[in-house]
Chain A
């Protein structure tokens, strides 16, 4: 292990790897420390969706600008990340939800996004297998440029491109301590050695809270076990991701043909439990077959869990913290870290390499939780 570097990123998920690539491209010396293997945490367990339809400006901006990067990413990284734009169809179930949907669409359109409100009969034009009555929808919103990419392939592609630019990745390596001198970060200690550095990025997903505690920074993160399942492969049936904020369900058909989706279990509580539950299988299968009755004959193959690292406003914590210079946060993604990662890497690179801040960084700084009224992201599923 080398003993000195410009930046140490803790966490080899999508955000750690995309940031490593951007920083290395800027000519910085970067080391990534990963406890297990790349994409072994939330990234590798996620639903692969890329959505731009958000209720808060920062999330919408991060997602819209990320899609522009995703569109060219396979070329830029010289590996196929399986990006495809089949859209996101968001079911709307009652008048109250429709009022919120109209507000969301107005915000998204003001940021330049093309998104439509669909009548109930238009829903099956987009996703033919849906039963509009069964899903109890009075309408939907649809953005055709939302989509998917393969989370493993995207993470691996970023890491490979970063390595070519000189970044070093140490997997199966655990951070054991952070050293400070005169209120700034000076070194990272791991079970394989110590690295001197001025900047540490905390991109450790659900473990970010424990990392921050090493320098007595308290992050308002709560881990939530989330469950997700995959069916057997089917011929192509639909292209859009279908989601509902009211039912919490999301599902879509992946490139290989399997339907992947999740839903929160009714008695969901925060905590570090990882065991899958039978309650999920029952709740997911009954809701999914209510939305798309034709799927009742389809076999469910696999069921796994991952974590959302949830903040009080369901928005990420990005950038500097008071009292510990050089300690940069890149966590609290609350279930949507994959889809905004290209732009998160961009704004954090500007901060770290060029000392440049932005409206997004200001509004997503951890200081927002101190006393001020927080604006909660409402468009959360899973």
Chain B
């Protein structure tokens, strides 16, 4: 069976996204919470643009009008020990 991966972090395919849209999850925040897209180590760098284009195809909303999910810090993964050390050195 053909399966196009949209989100590599959470192993979500184009078919999974289409099914969720058909179930009524029609904005990126809702899809994110349903499918965990954008919650992995890449924080949505890979998947969000792809999901926005699937949404455009399915719902007719233009990509440029689809709100992006909130960006969560940190921008790159940081070891807990590194963050903790920062405090201990103060």
Which residues of A pack against B, CB within 8 Å? 36-40, 44, 152, 156, 230-232, 256, 276, 281-286, 288-289, 295-304
Q: Report the number of A-B residue pairs with Cβ-Cβ less than 8 Å.
A: 77
Chain A residue nearest to B33 in the complex (CB) = A152
User: Ordered nearest first, which 10 A-B pairs have the shortest CB separation?
Assistant: A296-B81, A299-B77, A285-B83, A286-B84, A282-B87, A285-B84, A302-B72, A152-B33, A285-B80, A286-B87
The reply to whether A296 and B77 contact each other, CB–CB distance below 8 Å, is no
> Residues of B contacting A231 with CB < 8 Å?
80
The reply to whether A300 and B43 contact each other, CB–CB distance below 8 Å, is no
* B63-90 with Cβ < 8 A to chain A: 70, 72-74, 77-81, 83-84, 86-88
> Residues of A contacting B36 with CB < 8 Å?
256
* B10-65 with Cβ < 8 A to chain A: 10, 27, 29-30, 33-34, 36, 39-41, 43
The reply to whether B43 and A289 contact each other, CB–CB distance below 8 Å, is no
The reply to whether B43 and A302 contact each other, CB–CB distance below 8 Å, is yes
Chain B residue nearest to A230 in the complex (CB) = B39
**Extra 11 A-B pairs, beta carbons < 8 Å, given A231-B80, A286-B87:** A232-B77, A276-B72, A276-B73, A281-B74, A296-B81, A300-B77, A301-B40, A301-B41, A301-B43, A301-B77, A302-B73
Least CB distance, A152 to chain B, in whole angstroms: 4
The reply to whether B73 and A303 contact each other, CB–CB distance below 8 Å, is yes
State the CA gap A284–B87 with chains docked (Å). Answer: 10
Least CB distance, A293 to chain B, in whole angstroms: 9
> Residues of A contacting B80 with CB < 8 Å?
231, 285, 288-289, 295-300
**A-B residue pairs in contact (CB < 8 Å), sample of 10:** A152-B33, A230-B39, A232-B41, A281-B74, A282-B83, A285-B83, A289-B80, A299-B79, A300-B80, A301-B41
State the CA gap A283–B86 with chains docked (Å). Answer: 10
- Asked whether A303 and B72 contact (CB < 8 A) given A286-B84, A297-B79, the answer is yes
State the CA gap A39–B84 with chains docked (Å). Answer: 31
- Asked whether A44 and B87 contact (CB < 8 A) given A231-B80, A295-B80, A297-B79, the answer is no
The reply to whether A289 and B77 contact each other, CB–CB distance below 8 Å, is no
Most buried by B among A256, A285, A289: A285
The reply to whether A283 and B87 contact each other, CB–CB distance below 8 Å, is yes
The reply to whether B77 and A37 contact each other, CB–CB distance below 8 Å, is no
Least CB distance, A16 to chain B, in whole angstroms: 16
- Asked whether A37 and B84 contact (CB < 8 A) given A232-B77, A302-B39, the answer is no
Least CB distance, A155 to chain B, in whole angstroms: 9
> Residues of A contacting B27 with CB < 8 Å?
37
State the CA gap A281–B41 with chains docked (Å). Answer: 17
> Residues of A contacting B81 with CB < 8 Å?
285, 289, 296-297
Least CB distance, B34 to chain A, in whole angstroms: 7
> Residues of B contacting A36 with CB < 8 Å?
29
The reply to whether B34 and A156 contact each other, CB–CB distance below 8 Å, is yes
Chain A residue nearest to B90 in the complex (CB) = A282
Query: B84 contacts which of A44, A152, A156, A282 (Cβ < 8 Å)?
Result: A282
Chain B residue nearest to A303 in the complex (CB) = B73
Least CB distance, B8 to chain A, in whole angstroms: 13
Chain B residue nearest to A296 in the complex (CB) = B81
Least CB distance, B70 to chain A, in whole angstroms: 7
> Residues of A contacting B79 with CB < 8 Å?
296-300
Least CB distance, B17 to chain A, in whole angstroms: 16
> Residues of B contacting A282 with CB < 8 Å?
83-84, 86-87
Most buried by A among B29, B39, B79, B88: B79
